[in-house]
Amino acid sequence: MTCRELAGRVFAGRGSSGAGGGVPDALVTTGGTESNQLGVLLAREVLGPEVRVVCGEFAHHSVHRAAWLLGLRAPVVVPSPAGVLEASALERVLSELVPESGAAGPRVLVVATAGTTDTGAVDPLAEVAAVVRRFGVRLHVDAAYGGSLLFSERLRGLLAGVECADSVTLDLHKLGWQPVAAGLFVVPEGGALRPLDHRADYLNADDDTEAGLPDLLGRSLRTTRRPDVVKVAVTLRALGWRGLGALVERTCGLAEEFADLVAKDARFELFGRPGLSTVLFRPVGAGAGVVAQVRRSLLASGSAALGRAEVGGGLWLKATLLNPWSRVADLSGLLELVAGAVPSRPGAWSGAGCGAGAGEGSAGS
C-alpha cells in the first residue's frame, strides 16, 4: 500500500486515470538513476527503438546514460540559459523533431526536472506539460530531489503539472531522510508497468499467479532485492504526510536563511535564491581555482562537505541543506569555515588558474 499511497500523492491532481482505468502505482528502485532508466525504458517499449529523448541542459546525467544503455541515440539537449527547461525553447525543438516521426506518430520522450542537481531549480512543469500535450509526445519528470515538496500543502504548488506526466522519479533519500536505497518510479496507472513483465516458471508461474501468490518479477529490473519499502512505510506511519511536509518546509526555510546570510556578508557572493534547499555561493572575486581549492581543503580537514557546481560561466560552492534541525549559528559557522579556508597568499584570491603569477592580483579583489 505504501507505493500506491505515494503514487496517489504524485497524481492527486490528475483526476480520472488514463485509458487503462487503473490506479496510480509505484515501484521501489535503488534511486533516481534506476528510476530515470525505467522512464526511458518504458518510453522505448511503448514508442519503439527510434524514440528520441529530449531534455534540458541541466537534466541529470542518468538521462543521458539511460539512452546510451538502451541503445538509443544521444538525447536532444534544449539550451537552458535560465537554468530550467523553458516551454518556448522546448516548443522550438519539438517543432523540428515531431514532423520527422512520419505516419507512425511522434516518437519523443521529454524529460523535465523538478530539482536540478546544481541549483535545485524546478522546470515550469505545467507549461512543459502543455507543450507536450500539444505535440502528442511522452513526458517523464525527474523529481528525485524536488518530489518531496508534494508532502507539503504549502509547497506542493511548485510542482504543479507533475500530475500530467506519464512517469515520475522520486528519491526519498534526499528530502525524505531515508537511508539508501529509497527510490521510486511512479506511473499514473499500474497497467503502464506491463512492459516490465517477465515470466520465469520457478519464480512466477502462471498458475501460482492465478492462485494469488504475489508476482514481483514484473515490478523491478532486479530479481533479488532488499525490502527497502519497509523503512519508508515506517517513516510514513510515524510522521504522516503533515510531519514529513513540516520537515521539508523547515529545510527549505533554512536554505532561505542561509542565502540571506550569504547576501549580507560582504566577503561572499550569492548565485541566486534557492529553489529547494541548495545554495550556491563563493568568496567575492574568487575564480575557479580558489573555489576548487577551498572545497578540497574543507573536505580534507573534515570541516565541511560542500559540493561544487559550474553554472553561469563560473564555479560555485554548493551547500545542499538536508538537516531540518540545523541552526542559524551552524550556517554562520559554515561561512566562517569557508572564509578561513580561502588562500591568503597574494594573487590566490582571484584563482585565475595556472597562468596567474604569485604577484598578480591582490587579496580580496
Query: Do 251 and 175 meet the contact criterion of CB atoms below 8 Å apart?
Result: yes
Q: In whole angstroms, what is the distance from residue 15 CA to residue 299 CA?
A: 48
CA R_g for the chain: 23
Tens of pLDDT along the chain (365 residues) come to 799 999 999 999 786 544 455 899 999 999 999 999 999 999 999 999 999 999 999 999 999 999 999 999 999 999 999 999 999 999 999 999 987 555 556 899 999 999 999 999 999 999 999 999 999 999 999 999 999 999 999 999 999 999 999 999 999 999 999 999 999 999 999 999 999 888 888 888 888 888 988 777 777 788 888 899 999 999 999 999 999 999 999 999 999 999 999 999 999 999 999 999 999 999 999 999 999 999 999 999 999 999 999 999 899 999 999 999 999 999 999 999 999 999 985 454 544 443 333 333 333 32
Neighbouring C-beta atoms of residue 22, cutoff 10 Å: 15
With a CB cutoff of 8 Å and minimum separation 6, the contacts of 175 are: 145, 146, 147, 148, 149, 247, 248, 251, 276, 277, 322
Confidence at residue 106, expressed as pLDDT on a 0 to 100 scale: 83
**Which of 119, 122, 190 is CA-nearest to residue 156?**
122
Burial 114-124 (b: 16+ CB within 10 A, else e): bbbbbbbbbbb
C-alpha closest to that of 281 among 328, 325, 338, 329: 338
> Does an H or E element contain 328, and which?
helix 328-341
State the amino acid at position 140 in one-letter form: H
pLDDT at 16: 54
| Residue 170, strand partner residues | 143, 184
- Please state at what angle helix 328-341 crosses helix 229-264, rounded to 10 degrees: 60
Check residue 17 and give its pLDDT. 47
To the nearest 10°, report the CA torsion of 30, 36, 40, 41: 10
User: What is the per-residue pLDDT for 350?
Assistant: 47
- Sign for the pseudo-dihedral over CA of 36, 237, 252, 130: positive
Among 163, 116, 178, 185, smallest CA distance to 18 is for 163
In angstroms, the CA 318 to CA 278 distance is 7
Comparing CA positions, the residue from 337, 343, 335 lying closest to residue 286 is: 343
Look at the pTM and tell me if it is higher than 0.75. yes
Q: What pLDDT is attached to residue 154?
A: 97
How many other C-beta atoms are found inside a 10 Å radius of the C-beta of residue 359? Answer: 8
Are residues 109 and 59 in contact, defined by beta-carbon separation less than 8 angstroms?
no
- Is the bond leading into 160 cis (omega within 30 degrees of zero)? no
Cell numbers representing residue 316 in the block: 560555485
Structure confidence at residue 221 (pLDDT) = 81
**Torsion from C-alpha of 57, 61, 63, 66, nearest 10 degrees:** 150
